[in-house]
Amino acid sequence: MTRDLLSRCSHSKQVKQIQARLVTSGLLLASVFHHNALLRAHSRTASASPSVSPAAAFPIYTHLLRRGLRPDSYTLPFLLNFCSLLLARYHGLSVHAHAIRLGRDADLFLANALIHFYSVVRDLAAARRILDLASFTDVVSYNSMLTGYLRAGDLDSAWSLFDGMSETNVVTWSAMISGCLQGGRSKEALALFSRMQAEGPEPNDMTLVSVLAACAHLGALEQGKWIHSYLRSNGIKISVFLGTALIDMYAKCGQVQLALNLFDEMPEKNLLTWTTMIKGLAMHGNGVEALQLFSVMGASGFVPDDVAFIGALCACTHAGLVDQGREIFDSMRKDYGIEPKLEHYGCMVDLLARNGLLEEAQGLIKSMPMEPDALVWGALMAGCKLHRNVELAEHSVKHLIKLEPDSSGVYVLLANIYASSGRHDKAREVRCMMRTKRLQKTPGCSLVEIGGRIHQFLVGDIAHPLIKDILSKWEEIESLIKLEGYVPDKKEVLLNIDDEEKEDALARHSEKLAIAFALISTEEGMPIRVVKNLRVCSDCHQGVLVLAIITGSSNWDLNNLKIADLSLVASVLLC
C-alpha cells in the first residue's frame, strides 16, 4: 500500500508527507523495504522539484544505518540515482566510499548506478574504470558509459565502445544515432540507422525522431519519406513527437505542402507541432499563411510561448511584413506577459535591417535590456551589406570582432561590403587582416540526394570522380544562362586574380557543382534539392534563378534562399 502511494507522488512534498506518516506510525523503524521505497520516491521526484537538495534523502539512509539495518542491492543505487539527478558530486563520492566499506561495490546494480553517476558529473575516467573493473556488467552498464561519452561530446570514444559491445539494444542504437546527430555527423547517423535495420533491433520513436532530424539536416527527402511509409505500412501510430519530426523534415526538405497535409491529418497536436508548421511556412516565404496559422493556433486554445513567437517573427522577416512584426513583438509583453529574449530582438533587427530600416534597427539594439550578441549584430551587418551602408557596417563589425574575435565570417562579410561598394582597397586590407590573424573562411558545402544517397560538394571541389563531367555540365549551363542575361558577379570573388580566373572560381561554388552533378545523374524532370551550410551568394542566387526560369520551373521560390539559420533548401524543378 505504501509503495503504491509513493509511486503516485509527483512532488517531493508529497513524499515527505508519506515519510512523516511512516515515522509516526513506526513502520519505518525496522524495514529496509520502506527505506528503499522512500529513497526511490525521492530520486524519482527530484527532477520535478527544483528546491530539493541532497539532504532530503540522506537522513533516510542515516536512519536505516542507525537502526542497525543493512542496505540491500537497491538501497545504494537509489541513493546514487538521487545524487545523479541533483549533480551532487561529493554526496555521490561518499556513497561510493561507503559501498566499498560495506563490500557492496561488486554488485551489478550498484556498478551501473556508479557508472551513470560518474558519467553525469563528467568524471568519465572514473566511470570507465568502474566499467572495466566491474565483476559483473550488462547492456545497461555499457549504455550508461556510452551515454556519458555522448553527453560530453566525445563521439570517437563512444564509437569505439559501441563497436566493441557484444550486446546491444534499442537504447544503444538510439543513443548512438542521436549522438551522431548532435555532433554534427548526420550522414553517419543515417548510415548507422541503415546498419540498425540490418543487424539491430526494431527502432522506436526516439530512434526515428533522431533519424528524421538527420534527414532534415541533410535534405534527405527520400529517406525521410521512407520512414513515413515504414510507419504507415507497419501500422505504427504516428505520435505527436513523430508527427512533428516528420513535419519538420518535409518543411526543411522543401516539401511544405506535404508538411501541411500531414499537419492537417494529425488528430492530436501540441504547441511544438503548431510552431514547427509555422516556422516551416515562414522558411519558404509563406509569411502570410504562417501568420494566419499563428492566429488559428491561438483560437484553438494554444497559448504561444517564446519559441512560437520566434516562428511568427521569422514569418514576418521572410515575407517583409514589418508592421505585423512590430505588432507581434509588442504583443509579447503587452498581451502575454512574455519578456522578449535575445532571439526575439535578433528577429526584429533582422526584419528591420532587411527592409532598409537600419536606423530603427540600430535604435532597437540600443534599447535592448541585455547586451546584444553576435547574432543581433550580424543581422544588422547583413542588412548593411544588402543596402550598402558601409558606415554602419564598420560600426557593427567593431562589436562583432569583440564578441567573436576568431570568426572569419565577420571579416568576409565586411570585405564583401567594401567590395560591393567599390572600396577595393579597404576590402584588401580586411583580407590582409585575415591572413595576419590566420583566419580561414568557412568553406561552402552543398549536399544533394540522388537515389537515396547523399553527395557532398565543397567549394572548389576536385575530389569527386565525375568532376570533369560536372564542370563540363556547368559550363554548358552557364553558356545558356548568359544568353538570358546572367552576368557573373565577380565582386563575390575576394581573391586578387584576373577576371577569367574569377569566373572559373565562381563556377566551382559548391551549389553549382551539386546542381550540375544532379543534372547528369537524374532523369529529365526530376526535382533537385540542394542543402547548403552558408547563405547563398548573390552570383549563385542570380545564376540559379535564371536557370530555373529558362527551364520552365513553376515552383521556384526566391525566399528559399533566405532561410534564417543560414542554411539553404532550394527546390528547383528542372524540366
Please give the angle made by the CA atoms of 467, 472 and 475, to the nearest 5 degrees.
125
**Predicted confidence band of residue 568 (pLDDT cuts 50, 70, 90):** very low
Of 423, 441, 459, the residue that ends a domain is 441
Q: What does the pLDDT read at residue 342?
A: 94
Q: What does the pLDDT read at residue 560?
A: 38
Quote the CA–CA distance of 104 and 71 in Å, as a whole number.
9
CA 21 to chain centre: 47
Q: What does the pLDDT read at residue 156?
A: 94
Q: What does the pLDDT read at residue 433?
A: 76
- Give 503 or 263, the one with higher predicted confidence: 263
Of 441, 473, 504, the residue that ends a domain is 441
Q: Which residues pair with 447 in a beta bridge?
A: 456, 531
CATH label of the domain that carries residue 379: 1.25.40.10
457 shares a domain with 406: no
Quote the CA–CA distance of 411 and 430 in Å, as a whole number.
6
Determine contact, residues 41/15, Cβ cutoff 8 Å. yes
526 shares a domain with 470: yes
Of 375, 410, 441, the residue that ends a domain is 441
Count of Cβ atoms closer than 10 Å to residue 50 Cβ = 7
Q: What does the pLDDT read at residue 45?
A: 53
Over residues 101-129, mean pLDDT:
91
Strand, helix or coil for residue 158: helix
- Flag whether 421 is in a domain: yes
Q: What does the pLDDT read at residue 121?
A: 93
- Flag whether 513 is in a domain: yes
Over residues 423-444, mean pLDDT:
76
Q: What does the pLDDT read at residue 183?
A: 92
Q: Which residue has the cell 507497419?
A: 234
- Flag whether 485 is in a domain: yes
411 shares a domain with 493: no
362 shares a domain with 435: yes
How many helices and strands, by DSSP H and E, does the chain display?
Answer: 30, 4
Quote the CA–CA distance of 168 and 28 in Å, as a whole number.
40
Determine contact, residues 251/276, Cβ cutoff 8 Å. yes
In 26-88, where does DSSP find H-type helix?
A: 32-45, 58-66, 75-85
563 shares a domain with 449: yes
- Flag whether 366 is in a domain: yes
Residues in Cβ contact with 126 at an 8 Å cutoff, skipping those fewer than 6 apart: 118
Quote the CA–CA distance of 130 and 147 in Å, as a whole number.
15
Spatial CA neighbour of 137 closest among 147, 126, 128, 150: 128
Spatial CA neighbour of 293 closest among 315, 310, 267: 315
* 439-481 pLDDT tens trace: 676 777 888 888 888 888 888 878 888 889 999 998 888 888 8
547 shares a domain with 565: yes
- Flag whether 24 is in a domain: no
Residue 19 has pLDDT above 60, yes or no: no
Percentage, residues of the chain above pLDDT 70: 81
Q: What does the pLDDT read at residue 148?
A: 96
Backbone torsions φ then ψ of 179, nearest 5 degrees: -65, -40
Q: What does the pLDDT read at residue 269?
A: 95
* 74-92 pLDDT tens trace: 778 878 888 888 788 988 8
Determine contact, residues 315/340, Cβ cutoff 8 Å. no
Over residues 196-204, mean pLDDT:
91
| Total number of domains constituting the chain | 2
Please give the DSSP secondary-structure letter assigned to residue 65.
Answer: H
Q: What does the pLDDT read at residue 284?
A: 86
Quote the CA–CA distance of 167 and 73 in Å, as a whole number.
24
Which amino acid does the sequence have at 202? Answer: E
Q: What does the pLDDT read at residue 537?
A: 77
CA-based end-to-end distance of the chain: 71
Out of 60-64, 171-175, 241-245, pick the least confident: 60-64
User: E-strand spans in 324-451?
Assistant: 445-450
Determine contact, residues 365/372, Cβ cutoff 8 Å. yes
Residue 574 has pLDDT above 70, yes or no: no
Q: What does the pLDDT read at residue 552?
A: 63
Q: What does the pLDDT read at residue 42?
A: 55
Residue 9 has pLDDT above 50, yes or no: no
431 shares a domain with 345: yes
Residue 49 has pLDDT above 80, yes or no: no
Over residues 421-426, mean pLDDT:
76
568 shares a domain with 486: yes
Out of 78-82, 291-295, 359-363, 416-420, pick the least confident: 416-420
- Flag whether 422 is in a domain: yes
541 shares a domain with 472: yes
Q: Which residues pair with 528 in a beta bridge?
A: 572
- Give 65 or 559, the one with higher predicted confidence: 65
**Predicted confidence band of residue 414 (pLDDT cuts 50, 70, 90):** confident
- Could you give the dihedral angle defined by the CA atoms of residues 9, 10, 11 and 14, in that order, rounded to the nearest 10 degrees? -20
Residue 338 has pLDDT above 50, yes or no: yes
* 281-326 pLDDT tens trace: 998 889 999 999 999 999 999 999 999 999 999 999 988 999 999 9
449 shares a domain with 399: no
Domain span at residue 525?
A: 445-573
Strand, helix or coil for residue 447: strand
Residues in Cβ contact with 447 at an 8 Å cutoff, skipping those fewer than 6 apart: 218, 219, 454, 455, 456, 457, 514, 530, 531, 532
Over residues 354-372, mean pLDDT:
94
CA 103 to chain centre: 44
Out of 6-10, 170-174, 243-247, 341-345, pick the least confident: 6-10
- Exposure on the CB side of residue 490, measured as CA atoms within 13 A: 12
Residue 575 has pLDDT above 80, yes or no: no
457 shares a domain with 437: no
453 shares a domain with 391: no
- Flag whether 206 is in a domain: no
* pTM of structure: 0.80
Over residues 201-209, mean pLDDT:
93
Residues in Cβ contact with 376 at an 8 Å cutoff, skipping those fewer than 6 apart: 342, 345, 346, 349, 365, 368
In 451-495, where does DSSP find H-type helix?
A: 467-483
Q: Which of 10-24, 98-112, 205-219, 493-507 has the highest mean pLDDT?
A: 205-219
Question: For the chain, how many residues are written?
Answer: 575
- Flag whether 45 is in a domain: no
Percentage, residues of the chain above pLDDT 90: 44
- Give 460 or 261, the one with higher predicted confidence: 261
Query: Average pLDDT over the chain, rounded to whole?
Result: 82
Count of Cβ atoms closer than 10 Å to residue 359 Cβ = 11
Q: What does the pLDDT read at residue 13?
A: 59
**Predicted confidence band of residue 573 (pLDDT cuts 50, 70, 90):** very low
**Predicted confidence band of residue 555 (pLDDT cuts 50, 70, 90):** very low
